[in-house]
Structure 1
Amino acid sequence: MNTAVATQSESRGSLLPMAIVGMLFFIFGFVTWLNGSLIPFLKILCDLSDFQALFVTFAFYISYTVMALPMAAILRRTGYRDGMAIGLGIMAVAALIYIPAAQTGNYAIFLLAQFGLGAGLTILQTASNPYVVKVGPAESAAMRISIMGLINKSAGVLAPIVFTALVLSGLTDFHAEGIAKLGEAERATRLSEVANRLVMPYIYMAVMLAALVALVKFSGLPEIDEDAGVDSESKSGIWQFPQAVLGAVALFTYVGVEVIAGDTIGLYGSKLGVANFASLTSYTMVFMVIGYVIGVVGIPRFISQQTALLGSALAGGLCVLGVVFSSESSTAISTALWGWSGIPVIPDAVTFVALMGLAHALVWPAVWPLALEGLGKYTAQGSALLIMGIAGGAVIPLAFGHISDIAGSTQLGYWVALPCYLFILFYALKGHKMRSWK
């Protein structure tokens, strides 16, 4: 009887932290995927070139690199629960900065707000990912992170829908060509009216984030014991943990190929004349969701975290070979996989790009527990280092574009993903086991 009560109590004890952290992962996804809607909106509102508009993404992601280690220092002082609350507070303040940005139409203020949101997310990610790893059994950590990934991606689906409903509803004539035809005074009035539509949504966001600050602060979330079983005197810094440093490189390569698979598939499809090229990213996202479901169901019941990472690396490499060597005209593979469902089929080479989403879906969930194992008091620094790996999403796609331009072929640009998967393979086989550089 006492054993049953204890088991139920333990179950309830882990359910609350997972539920609250799940809300945070929803916030990660919502704010991150909102960038895709903001870029074309601000491009028109602030009269930007494509290059200038992409600074929306740059300002957001560069904050991960700039702020990761400072945020880790804060986290080390405050603990994980208070660190999460601080991150949410920073995001609430950043959301309010969108109000003067919208009222003035000043692009620099918009970028400041973006950087602020990214900074808040940096400490949230730095705290929440190891929290998910440590809050339950180590062998099922990848399964828990997979659940968070499903929540994250569902927010990504909702973000553009909500933005369209709250900001763009009824603005059928809000496009660059239509705005350009207006007189100067009329154009200024029109842009001001549209910009003011951003005010209330970001007020709502600030209020919601402030409420989450209170929830996290007073929820009684347990702190995790990061020092247990570790001889902290034997190490002098995070750089003496090869599993963490190499894990950050593995995530750098992973985020790079994730962005390539999700963001270049539409470009590739448009060059091949695929009719539904604008929706091709959803193909990659669906396969990623399937991968997360496999992680939730299979880890650790049927496969270990190491096996999942090994399988992801091998499958990713095969997908790259499939992209560069398969037909750009035949649709045989997609016809066999889903042609019966009525979903539009796509060329074989493009299908392999979408399948990359399935192949590497479990890399992020698997790397985190392997990289943080044994870090003890350096867990916060290790988490910050892993978060810095997100910069791969900015760097590696540029290499893809450069190779594509030089080769004169988008298909050949996907070669850049092969060494990324090979490094993930190395980490799965050896890197995560290393405890010394000697």
Structure 2
Amino acid sequence: MLQNQNNKNAIILIGALFFIFGFVTWLNGPLITYVKLAFGLDTDSKAFMVTTAFYMAYFFLALPSSWILEKTGMKKGMGLGLLIMAVGTFIFGQFATHRNYSMCLLGLFIIGSGLSLLQTASNPYISIIGPIETAAKRISIVGLCNKAAGIISPIILSAFVLKGIGGLEQKVNSTPDPVAKETILNEFAKSIYVPYIIMAVILLVVAFLVMRSSLPEIKSSESNKQIETAEGAKQKNSLFNFPHLWLGALCIFVYVGVEVMAGDAIGTYGKGFNIPTDETKYFTSYTLAAMLLGYVIGLITIPKYMTQEAALKYSAVLGIVFTLGAFFTHGYASVAFVAALGLANALMWPAIFPLAIKGLGKFTEKGSAILIMGIAGGAIIPKIFASLKDEHDFQLIFCLLMIPCYLYILYYAIKGYKAGQ
């Protein structure tokens, strides 16, 4: 009974953490709009350095995060991750007021680094705090918190920072005097300072609360032992003995790529149809609302009506269907299909992660870090889209990037997760 209560408390606390890094992560969509105007960037490719800097942190910091967690333990590691995020948030807010894009990107990289530490700790934690077979359901519960925050954060940033941005863009473009133009942009850039300083303070407070909490300390490698067959499976002695892990890392890579395309690139996609910026700045919230619906469906159906593997399979097929729908339609209808990809993507992370770490035993921490490295897909795939869309049909580029990703996810759901087992 006490163990069940501890598990419930842990899920509540992890849910709060998922809300925080959902709030921070899904600011990137409207931030792309913000930096393009505030820093006078002439291409979308330069503006998409926001996602590149943010998500590449996962690639570089995931394995060091695993080492840090071995030294600090899960709880202190989560607190440290929040502190690092607070530092990055402060740096971004401070240097945005000076319109120093390079330092702002550094701030985003630091935020991503803190999130990498948080993710490396919290994802395996929530997966193994109960039976691995129901891990997708627990991840869906905390995922609700993540996606709810993702709906809210773009709306808040748009209300406080991007209000009237369409008119501001016209004003900047119609101002012939360079000095007057710089004055307008300086005032606009400063508008983000207070929201980011408030976020930094909140992160510091939550870090303190986490470190003082009664969150149970568990060793993931001890809770995720390999299941021996009746004949007696040989104990594996290297991460390279788990092909399903490496295939899972690639699956995470392409999944996060399509998730960021649907969530952060949707505003840029909409502008390809000449939809006003005052409308496109909210599009990220539509994708996250669809993801929230997907998480609710996951809570109801997994594992009672379908397995994690089946959920991943159906999600991949749905992703292909919605991508083709976006390609063969135009304007708001096409944008609606892109937003609907949030529904297709919702159950992918909750299914991929537990399937990929299943049976890793003593390698669970490092295996989880390998999977977290795959989040770098959010840095690469959207950047390719932004770099190619101006020279080619943006709908075609979107489709050619998304379809192969969903096909690979479908392969992993059918066969890849069983490799080597």
* Change in CA separation of 1:110 and 1:386 when aligned onto 2, cut-off 3 Å: same
Instruction: For 1:86, give the aligned amino acid.
Output: L
- The DSSP-based 3-state class of the residue aligned with 1:227 is helix
Instruction: For 2:169, give the aligned amino acid.
Output: H
Task: Give the CA deviation at 1:122.
Answer: 0.8
Task: Give the CA deviation at 1:58.
Answer: 1.7
Alignment check: 8 A CA contact 1:132 1:144 kept: yes
* Change in CA separation of 1:269 and 1:366 when aligned onto 2, cut-off 3 Å: same
Q: How many residues align structurally?
A: 411
1:294 aligns with 2:294: no
* Change in CA separation of 1:212 and 1:395 when aligned onto 2, cut-off 3 Å: same
- The DSSP-based 3-state class of the residue aligned with 1:385 is helix
Instruction: For 2:308, give the aligned amino acid.
Output: Q
* Change in CA separation of 1:120 and 1:270 when aligned onto 2, cut-off 3 Å: closer
Q: Which protein is bigger by CA-based radius of gyration?
A: 1
Task: Give the CA deviation at 1:362.
Answer: 0.9
Task: Give the CA deviation at 1:78.
Answer: 1.7
State the match for 2:307 in structure 1. 304
Query: Percentage identity across aligned positions?
Result: 45
Structure-1 separation of matches of 2:184 and 2:266? 35
> What is the TM-score with the length of structure 1 in the denominator?
0.81
* Change in CA separation of 1:256 and 1:39 when aligned onto 2, cut-off 3 Å: closer
Structure-2 separation of matches of 1:283 and 1:353? 9
**The one of 427, 431, 437 aligned to 2:412:** 427
* Change in CA separation of 1:403 and 1:306 when aligned onto 2, cut-off 3 Å: same
1:360 aligns with 2:345: yes
* Change in CA separation of 1:81 and 1:415 when aligned onto 2, cut-off 3 Å: same
Structure-1 separation of matches of 2:395 and 2:104? 33
State the match for 1:34 in structure 2. 27
Gaps of 5+ in 2: none
Task: Give the CA deviation at 1:182.
Answer: 7.3
Instruction: For 1:143, give the aligned amino acid.
Output: K
Alignment check: 8 A CA contact 1:142 1:369 kept: yes
Cα deviation, 1:204-254, whole Å, max 9, x if unaligned, reads: 222211111111111021122323334999444433322211111111121
> What is the TM-score with the length of structure 2 in the denominator?
0.84
State the match for 1:20 in structure 2. 13
* Change in CA separation of 1:98 and 1:234 when aligned onto 2, cut-off 3 Å: same
Alignment check: 8 A CA contact 2:97 2:192 kept: no
Cα deviation, 1:338-361, whole Å, max 9, x if unaligned, reads: xxxxxxx954x6655444332332
Instruction: For 1:157, give the aligned amino acid.
Output: I
Alignment check: 8 A CA contact 2:248 2:371 kept: yes
State the match for 1:337 in structure 2. none
1:370 aligns with 2:355: yes
- The DSSP-based 3-state class of the residue aligned with 1:365 is helix
**The one of 132, 145, 149 aligned to 1:155:** 149
State the match for 1:209 in structure 2. 203
Instruction: For 2:171, give the aligned amino acid.
Output: E
- The DSSP-based 3-state class of the residue aligned with 1:368 is helix
Q: CA RMSD in A?
A: 3.4
Task: Give the CA deviation at 1:67.
Answer: 1.4
Structure-1 separation of matches of 2:242 and 2:34? 44
* Change in CA separation of 1:88 and 1:270 when aligned onto 2, cut-off 3 Å: closer
**The one of 314, 319, 328 aligned to 1:316:** 319
Task: Give the CA deviation at 1:203.
Answer: 2.6
Cα deviation, 1:172-202, whole Å, max 9, x if unaligned, reads: 9643633872755555555554444443333
1:133 aligns with 2:127: yes
1:62 aligns with 2:63: no
Instruction: For 2:295, give the aligned amino acid.
Output: Y
Structure-1 separation of matches of 2:83 and 2:292? 30
Task: Give the CA deviation at 1:370.
Answer: 1.0
Alignment check: 8 A CA contact 2:89 2:107 kept: yes
Equivalent positions of 1:333-344 (< 5 A) are none
Instruction: For 1:250, give the aligned amino acid.
Output: C
Instruction: For 1:24, give the aligned amino acid.
Output: L
Structure-2 separation of matches of 1:239 and 1:359? 31
Instruction: For 1:135, give the aligned amino acid.
Output: I
**Which of 116-125 and 176-185 deviates more?**
176-185
State the match for 1:145 in structure 2. 139
State the match for 1:247 in structure 2. 248
* Change in CA separation of 1:419 and 1:191 when aligned onto 2, cut-off 3 Å: closer
Equivalent positions of 1:103-252 (< 5 A) are 103-167=97-161, 174-175=168-169, 177-178=171-172, 181=175, 183=177, 190-228=184-222, 229-230=225-226, 234-252=235-253
Structure-2 separation of matches of 1:205 and 1:280? 22
- The DSSP-based 3-state class of the residue aligned with 1:49 is coil
Structure-2 separation of matches of 1:193 and 1:274? 25
Task: Give the CA deviation at 1:297.
Answer: 1.2
Structure-2 separation of matches of 1:271 and 1:192? 27
Alignment check: 8 A CA contact 2:256 2:375 kept: yes
Task: Give the CA deviation at 1:366.
Answer: 0.5
